[in-house]
């Protein structure tokens, strides 16, 4: 097994362009041209990285204290799938990004179902690979934070991060994953108004394109589900031109009062109908 030791920028290390702390990653690959460009970019980011030319035991990966691993399955030969499954099974907390050559849909689906967090097909730009690594690590950290946090009680709703779901009287509101991430973000803001751009960045994971209405569409769907499950409350409030605020408030519902039956009576001066007498 040939490898290059961890390398990085000496002294103070800058944060990555996403604002996250520098990572330590291993790259299992032998594409010298790709690795040269990638390594230079990682060094500028301050990431420590080790390039490996073949598979390493999982206990060695544990000793490396990695934040993520990038693997080209073509480097591993016939044992590639077995090795991928071994890593994802024995190291479930380690983000795994497959960056390999031409592949079929079936192969990509197989890898993701085995536990790979993302799949990128070569040729690709190293910058895209870095962005995908950051996105995977960010999602993992958010998931860990959710597991540590307790339920959020809001009005009649209980938001359970450990189950990716919200409940009213122990009945699930049946949210999609994206809808749950949206309500969790809004509820965690504790009444603060979140701008659309911030919501998109934190839920979708990247910058919102100009004219994109995804946030508004998902907020509308989420609001409809919440109001159906908990009709006596209003949870999401719109701040036009800015964004949205989550604050449980009792709904102001005006119930029409039916007229009193005793008030409705026949008029006393009604003229009786004339009855024609027979000829």
- What's the pLDDT tens digit per position in 74-85? 999 999 999 999
Residue 268 lies in a domain: no
Smallest Cα–Cα separation from 76: which of 87, 66, 68? Answer: 87
Contacts of 120 (CB under 8 A, 6+ apart): 97, 98, 99, 100, 128, 129, 132
The residues that bridge with 234 in the sheet, in sequence order, are 249
Q: Looking at the structure, do residues 170 and 136 belong to the same domain, yes or no?
A: no
Domain presence at residue 18: yes
User: Could you report the per-residue pLDDT of 58-75, keeping only the tens digit for each?
Assistant: 899 888 899 999 999 999
- Cβ neighbour number for residue 57 with a 10 Å cutoff: 11
The rounded distance, in Å, linking the Cα atoms of 73 and 111 is 10
What are the angstrom distances between the C-alpha of 59 and each of 55, 68, 82, 139, 226? 12, 15, 16, 24, 46
Mutual angle of helices 177-188 and 196-204, in 10-degree steps: 130
- pLDDT value at residue 147: 61
Q: Would residue 40 count as lying in a domain?
A: yes
Look at the chain and report how many structural domains it folds into.
2
Q: What is the pLDDT of residue 16?
A: 46
Asked if residue 89 and residue 184 are part of one domain, the reply reads no
Q: Which residues span the domain enclosing 52?
A: 3-145
Ranges in the chain, pLDDT < 70: 1-21, 143, 145-149, 206, 253-279
Q: What's the confidence (pLDDT) of residue 235?
A: 95
Residue 209 lies in a domain: yes
Query: From CA 207, how far away is CA 213, in angstroms rounded?
Result: 13
Q: Rounded to an integer, what distance in angstroms lies between the CA atom of residue 213 and that of residue 108? A: 30
Nearest to 8 by CA among 60, 36, 43, 56: 43
What is the model's pLDDT at position 225? 95
Which residues neighbour 235 within 8 Å (Cβ) at sequence distance 6 or greater?
154, 155, 157, 223, 226, 227, 246, 247, 248, 249
Here the CATH number for the domain that contains residue 175 is 1.10.10.10
The enclosing domain of 127 has a CATH number of: 3.40.50.2300
- Is the residue at 255 inside a domain? no
- Same domain flag for 10 and 135: yes
Residue 256 located in a structural domain = no
9 close to 55: Cβ distance less than 8 angstroms:
no
Could you tell me if 45 and 157 lie in one domain?
Answer: no
């Amino acid at each position: 097994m040939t490898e290059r030791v961890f390398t990085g920028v000496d002294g103070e290390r800058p944060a990555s362009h996403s604002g996250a702390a520098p990572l330590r990653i291993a790259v299992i690959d032998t594409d010298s041209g790709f690795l040269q460009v990638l390594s230079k970019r990682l060094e500028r980011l301050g990431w420590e990285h080790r390039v490996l030319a073949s598979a390493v035991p999982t206990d060695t990966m544990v000793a490396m204290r990695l934040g993520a691993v990038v693997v080209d399955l073509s480097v591993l030969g016939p044992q590639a799938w077995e090795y991928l499954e071994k890593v994802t099974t024995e190291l479930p907390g380690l983000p795994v990004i497959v960056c390999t050559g031409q592949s079929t849909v079936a192969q990509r689906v197989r890898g993701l179902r085995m536990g790979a967090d993302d799949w990128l097909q070569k040729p690709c730009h190293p910058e895209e690979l870095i962005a995908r690594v950051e996105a995977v690590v960010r999602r993992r950290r958010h998931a860990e934070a959710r597991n540590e946090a307790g339920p959020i009680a809001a009005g009649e709703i209980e938001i359970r991060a450990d189950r990716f779901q919200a409940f009213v009287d122990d009945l699930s509101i049946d949210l999609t994953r994206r809808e749950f991430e949206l309500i969790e973000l809004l509820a965690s803001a504790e009444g603060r108004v979140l701008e659309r751009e911030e919501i998109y960045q934190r839920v979708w994971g990247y910058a919102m394109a100009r004219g994109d209405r995804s946030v508004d569409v998902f907020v509308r769907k989420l609001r409809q589900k919440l109001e159906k499950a908990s009709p006596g409350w209003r949870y999401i409030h719109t701040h036009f031109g800015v964004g949205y605020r989550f604050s449980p408030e009792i709904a102001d519902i005006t119930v029409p009062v039916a007229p009193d039956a005793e008030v409705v009576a026949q008029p006393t001066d009604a003229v009786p109908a004339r009855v024609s007498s027979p000829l």
